[in-house]
């Protein structure tokens, strides 16, 4: 972990993509909540796999397979330590948060949720933490219950607790809202859920790049995240689960690596985590995910968080001064997401004009349509922050928004 002062310009030099121009203007990348850019260390790690050690992992006796397996399996330890876990076998490699949630829904959920049971989510959730549960409860004759948010984009904890019942089997909650940046008090929510006998899944996709995660302190039963949100490659991610729960879960996909023996008479399944990892994995992606974890720890998660907190405060202040701009999501506890609407201008038009200024933002409902429905809007413009952003990026955003205003008024 780094104790040196945070040097944003030094950090930026590690991201090759940030040195380019878009439409003749320096790139200002404010779309990291959709996918973060990659430092040279991550790019090099993935290239190294394909250039020097690539082979399929596990069961190979030749040199390259051994090297690839060692590098691949070493990442379990990195992830376990990064999440504050206790056992490498609690780390299941998946394609990303969406696959992790679907794995829990299809394996744990189909085993433990029955007619009349309930799955509790919040009004902040990404579609990936809604649709799998809708599919499950429809199949099982169960019910999806929603704990509402208020007009700051904060979950009402009193109403969350009241939504819990003896029929609540699972609570599935975002650690951080992708649409608003709201940080949920997940440890408190997990304690309340466990008091009602429920299992807790935390969608950590938006939290993993912004703060240090400790699954033991949170007290959750499952924690899911995607590498690409945290400076790693796309197509790699993690489901962390308590080992005793993973041990009891049936496989959700059949194929190679999830078996100990297979015959036409029957199959004996492998131990966790392998029984939940059917097929050839994203070998280079997982190894590069490990490089991303190393990189974040070298820069320092706490230093990143402090830098982004300063950016969020600066961005909130200057955006609030733009005529006709309304910030959506003003929770007291939030990370670097600035979601807003501009009176008289559709977010897609805002995003298009900003693009011609070299500024990349995300526009739309952000796969969180229930959030948009709560606020009575179809979409927002979302500027999302990462460790490589600067105050000048946000100043450029505001300058671009003034050009948007001048175009439409």
56 close to 65: Cβ distance less than 8 angstroms: yes
263 lies in some domain: yes
- In sequence order, which residues have a C-beta less than 8 Å from that of residue 81 and are 6 or more positions away? none
- 340 located within any domain: yes
279-311 pLDDT, tens per residue?
999 999 999 999 999 999 999 999 999 999 999
For residue 390, what are its two tokens?
């600067």
What pLDDT, on the 0 to 100 scale, is given for residue 1?
A: 45
Within-domain flag for 247: yes
User: Looking at residue 240, which CATH number applies to its domain?
Assistant: 3.40.640.10
**340 and 321 in one domain?**
yes
**Could you tell me if 172 and 123 are in contact, meaning their C-beta atoms sit under 8 angstroms apart?**
no
- Burial class of residue 395 (count of CB atoms within 10 Å of its CB; 0-12, 13-18, 19+): middle
* Predicted pLDDT at 3: 52
pLDDT tens digits along 152-202: 999 999 999 999 999 999 999 999 999 999 999 999 999 999 999 999 999
pLDDT (tens digit, 9 = 90+) per residue, 359-384?
Answer: 999 999 999 999 999 999 999 999 99
Whether 138 and 255 map to the same domain: the answer is: yes
Cα-to-chain-centroid distance, residue 226: 5
Do 19 and 60 fall within a single domain?
Answer: no
* pLDDT tens-digit map of 54-84: 999 998 999 999 999 999 999 999 999 999 9
Q: Judge if 254 and 311 occupy the same domain.
A: no
Report the Cα 379 to chain-centroid distance in Å.
20
Do 75 and 290 contact (CB within 8 A), yes or no? yes
Q: What are phi and psi of 144, to 5 degrees?
A: -95, 125
Query: Residues 237, 323: one domain?
Result: no
Q: What percent of the chain has pLDDT over 90?
A: 97
Domain of residue 99: give its range.
43-297
CA-to-CA distance for 407 and 80, rounded, in angstroms?
A: 51
Residues 205, 312 within the same domain: no
Runs of H (alpha helix) within 300-343? 301-319
- Whether the pLDDT of residue 49 is over 80: the answer is yes
Query: What is the structure's pLDDT at 4?
Result: 63
pLDDT in tens, 88-145: 999 999 999 999 999 999 999 999 999 999 999 999 999 999 999 999 999 999 999 9
Q: What is the mean pLDDT of residues 35-56?
A: 98
Number of domains in the chain: 2
Which of 297, 319, 353 finishes a domain? 297
Please name the residues in contact with 19: beta carbons below 8 A apart, sequence gap of 6 or more.
Answer: none
The reported pLDDT for the residue numbered 393 is 98
Q: What is the pLDDT at residue 409?
A: 73
Residue 377: its pLDDT value, please?
A: 97
Is 398's pLDDT higher than 50? yes
367 assigned to active site: yes
Q: State the angle between helix axes of 131-140 and 97-104 in degrees (0 to 180), rounded to the nearest 10.
A: 20
- The tens digit of pLDDT for each residue in 1-17 reads 445 679 999 999 999 99
Q: Which of 47, 367, 387, 405 is catalytic?
A: 367
Residue 189 sits in the same domain as residue 200: yes
DSSP-derived pairing of the beta strands 199-203 and 168-174: parallel
Q: How far is Cα 370 from Cα 356, in angstroms, rounded to an integer?
A: 30
Assess whether pLDDT exceeds 50 at residue 21: yes
Of 192, 275, 240, the C-alpha closest to 267 is 275
- Which pair of structure tokens corresponds to residue 231? 């400076």
381 in a structural domain:
yes
- The answer to whether the beta carbons of residues 198 and 219 sit under 8 Å apart is no
Cβ-based neighbours of 367, under 8 Å, separated by 6 or more: 126, 127, 128, 178
Measured CA to CA, the distance from residue 3 to residue 172 in angstroms comes to 35
Q: Give the single-character DSSP code of 183.
A: B
């Amino acid at each position: 972990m780094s104790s040196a002062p945070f040097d944003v310009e030094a950090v930026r030099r590690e991201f090759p993509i940030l040195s380019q121009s878009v439409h003749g203007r320096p790139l200002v990348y404010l779309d990291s909540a959709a996918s973060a850019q990659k430092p040279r260390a991550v790019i090099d790690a993935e290239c190294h796999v394909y250039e020097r050690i690539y082979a399929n992992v596990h069961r190979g006796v030749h040199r390259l397979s051994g090297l690839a397996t060692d590098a691949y399996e070493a990442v379990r330890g990195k992830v376990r330590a990064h999440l504050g876990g206790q056992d490498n076998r609690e780390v299941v490699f998946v394609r990303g948060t969406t696959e992790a949630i679907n794995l829990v829904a299809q394996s744990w959920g189909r085993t433990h949720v029955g007619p009349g049971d309930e799955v509790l989510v919040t009004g902040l959730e990404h579609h990936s933490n809604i649709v799998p549960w809708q599919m499950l409860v429809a199949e099982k004759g169960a019910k999806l219950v929603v704990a509402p948010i208020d007009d700051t984009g904060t979950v009402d904890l009193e109403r969350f607790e009241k939504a819990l019942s003896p029929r609540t089997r699972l609570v599935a909650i975002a650690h951080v809202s992708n649409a608003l940046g709201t940080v949920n008090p997940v440890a408190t929510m997990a304690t309340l859920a466990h008091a009602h006998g429920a299992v807790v899944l935390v969608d950590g996709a938006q939290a993993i790049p912004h703060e240090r995660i400790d699954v033991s302190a949170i007290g959750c039963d499952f924690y899911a995240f995607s590498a690409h949100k945290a400076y790693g490659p796309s197509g790699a991610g993690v489901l962390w689960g308590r080992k005793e729960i993973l041990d009891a879960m049936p496989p959700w996909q059949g194929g190679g690596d999830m078996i100990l023996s297979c015959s036409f008479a029957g199959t004996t399944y492998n131990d966790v985590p392998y029984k939940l990892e059917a097929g050839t994995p994203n070998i280079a992606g997982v190894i590069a995910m490990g490089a991303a974890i190393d990189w974040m720890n070298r820069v320092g998660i706490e230093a990143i968080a402090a830098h982004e907190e300063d950016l969020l405060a600066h961005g909130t202040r200057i955006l609030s001064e733009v005529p006709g701009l309304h910030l959506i999501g003003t929770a007291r506890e939030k990370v670097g997401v600035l979601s807003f609407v501009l009176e008289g201008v559709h977010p897609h038009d805002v995003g298009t004009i900003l693009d011609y200024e070299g500024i990349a933002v995300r526009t739309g409902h952000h796969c969180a349509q229930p959030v948009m429905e709560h606020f009575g809007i179809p979409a927002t413009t979302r500027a999302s922050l990462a460790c490589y952003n600067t105050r000048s990026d946000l100043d450029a955003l505001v300058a671009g928004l003034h050009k948007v205003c001048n175009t439409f008024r």
